[in-house]
A and B are shown apart, each in its own frame.
Chain A
Amino acid sequence: MSTARASSFNCTECGAGLDALGGGRVRVHICSYCGAELDAQDDYKVLAKYRDLERPASPFSIGMTGELWGVGFTVIGTMAWVEFHNGKRWEWVNHQLYSPTHGYAWLTVEDGFVTYARKQRMASSPTSLSESFIENAERRPSVSFGGQSFRYYSSGRIKPTFIEGEFNYRPSLDESARYVSLLGHHQMLDIIESGQEREYELVSLPDQAATLASFDVPAGRWPKPRGVHPLQVYHQSPFATFARTVFFVASAVTLLIGLMLSGSGQTISQSETVGISRDVTLPFEITNAGRLTEIEIWANAYNSWAWFEAELLDGEGEPVAEFERGVEYYKGSDWSEGSQRVRTRLHLPPGTYELSINNTQAVVDWAGGTEATRYQITVSHGVNTTFWLWITAVVFGVLGLAQMVGPVVHNTRRMAGSDWSDD
């Protein structure tokens, strides 16, 4: 198994004792004490000096070891970065990682999230997205990389502000870089252009708690995530998924039952259409018990109302029910209110009945209204009341939809950090 000789040495600038943790491919080692940049491939000769750099806050420090997806890594370097855009400032910290089996990678702390990035040797297609291409694109641009599609997320220019430890290349505080971040299903692709070089990195979001615990980060130093990371996939609880399914199925079943039971029943008696001032007497017979009887009054009220008094007598001439009903119908250019029909439902035992309508009134109380001039009475039997079934179906549907609100809100927050605008 390939490895490097772990060793300690003294800084050739200040004499401080330093550990070489990063294997044989380390190019430079920036002394944690004096900031001297030492050439790890040429007897640690001093290449440059970085003085008075402000050390960034990070839960990780050089020498920490931990596991990512079961692979052991050691933190060997620290770099702080800054990006300015539209007067705003973003800061994050990259830690160079080293694994004897998985090589060099980055552990990044930004917005309270810890991500893992590793360099790729393939190129995307297209190889990059220029600033002008992004600015002029009508739709969110995307690239293909390793058979996957990555959609544009953000871009900008970044600059390092702090360097410490070991790196497998020679970083420079003087060199800024341009980056383009693109979002795939479970990874982000970062295209980083610096000088004449273009590099590709795949970024993953490891289990945050497991990673911090594995690197023995003290609980008090765990970063506090702000918002939702673009790689944070919404994890709906199995119960919520089950509940959503149950609610939608219940809503559909209730709707189906409602449709099967709905209907206006069978007309058993109907009056002629008569003038509004005329009384109507309408006999009818109920033969089946257990179903509802519906008495419907229709009147041609238009932006007006009409009033009806009704009395229902049984075969013995005894009153069974007395009720008053109003037909109100109002309509504007883009609205309407009320109806020209009003219904009354009764549960009547089998027998003969006589319905009397009298003392009718018709009144216009709206500009441009027309007084009701005619009305008609229809008696139906076998009517089912499905009102509460509709209400129940709607309630189940709403409860089902409520289970979907979480993912929608989550995905909106995932994309909140993107600088892409469809406008």
Chain B
Amino acid sequence: MVELGVQIEVTGQFYLPVGQAQFDYGRGWWDEFWCLNEQGDGYWLSVDEGDYALERTLPRSAWPKGFRPALGAATEINGIPFRVTEAETATCSAVKGEFPEALAVGETHLYFDLTGLDGEIATCERWDGGEAWSIGSWIDAWDVRRS
């Protein structure tokens, strides 16, 4: 449904995927699309077997303090309570297009998905020598359409 260079519409907002990275977690893989909206702002669109999430990069100043990287661990970001619901080690298996950061095929990333109470999602991504946070919301697959 999501394809590089093909604009999509998500609940009335338009995004253009300009970069696609594929992460392999052993039993399957998921895609991370770097998308630009009409104003040129960048978003990560995660597409994982029908689970869609749209996130923006979280500035370092907003990273949660004392985050415990474990399933079920609770934390708070921008005043929103989150809980770690998924932890996954994945290897970057393919990259294509443009990204806001350097991604290397074969690099292993440790992902923690944190879920809020009302459809919010935050992701903590760790790799050799780096860490990044993003925050956004889950999207209903039926709300994603090519435009």
Contact = CB atoms under 8 A, between A and B. Distances in A.
Contact of A99 (B26, B27, B50): B50
Contacts of B49: 2-4, 23-25, 98, 100, 103-104
B28 A103 contact: no
B118 A3 contact: no
Interface string A293-316: 000000000000000000000000
Interface string B11-35: 0000000000000011111110000
A23 B28 CA distance: 7
Contacts of A99: 50, 141
Nearest to B31: A2
Interface in A86-129: 98-104, 118, 120-123
Contacts of A100: 49-50
Interface of B: 1-3, 25-31, 47-51, 115, 117-119, 121, 138, 140-142
B90 to A, nearest CB: 11
A1 interface: yes
Contact of A121 (B3, B26, B31, B138): B138
B28 A25 contact: yes
- Sorted nearest first, the 5 A-B pairs with minimum C-beta distance are A103-B50, A24-B28, A4-B28, A24-B27, A122-B119
B25 A121 contact: no
Considering residues B1, B48, B49, which has the most beta carbons from chain A within 10 angstroms of its beta carbon? B49
Given A99-B50, A104-B50, A1 B31 contact: yes
B2 A4 contact: no
B50 A24 contact: no
Interface of A: 1-5, 23-26, 40-41, 69, 98-104, 118, 120-123
Contacts of A26: 27
30 contacts: A1-B1, A1-B2, A1-B3, A1-B31, A2-B30, A2-B49, A4-B27, A4-B49, A5-B27, A5-B28, A24-B25, A24-B27, A24-B28, A24-B29, A24-B49, A25-B27, A25-B51, A98-B49, A99-B141, A100-B49, A101-B141, A102-B50, A102-B142, A104-B49, A120-B119, A120-B140, A121-B115, A121-B119, A121-B138, A123-B119
Given A4-B28, A23-B28, 15 more contacts: A1-B2, A2-B28, A2-B31, A2-B49, A24-B28, A26-B27, A69-B142, A98-B49, A100-B50, A102-B50, A103-B49, A103-B141, A121-B115, A122-B119, A123-B117
B2 to A, nearest CB: 7
A281 B91 CA distance: 117
A19 B141 CA distance: 26
Contacts of B1: 1, 101
Nearest to B29: A2
Contacts of B50: 99-104
A41 B25 CA distance: 11
Contacts of B140: 118, 120
Contacts of A25: 27-28, 48-49, 51
A413 to B, nearest CB: 29
A123 B118 contact: yes
Given A24-B25, A24-B27, A101-B141, A2 B47 contact: yes
A95 B102 CA distance: 42
A127 to B, nearest CB: 8
Contacts of A24: 25-29, 49
A365 to B, nearest CB: 78
Considering residues B2, B25, B31, B50, which has the most beta carbons from chain A within 10 angstroms of its beta carbon? B50
B27 A41 contact: yes
A40 B28 CA distance: 12
A1 B47 contact: yes
Contacts of A98: 49
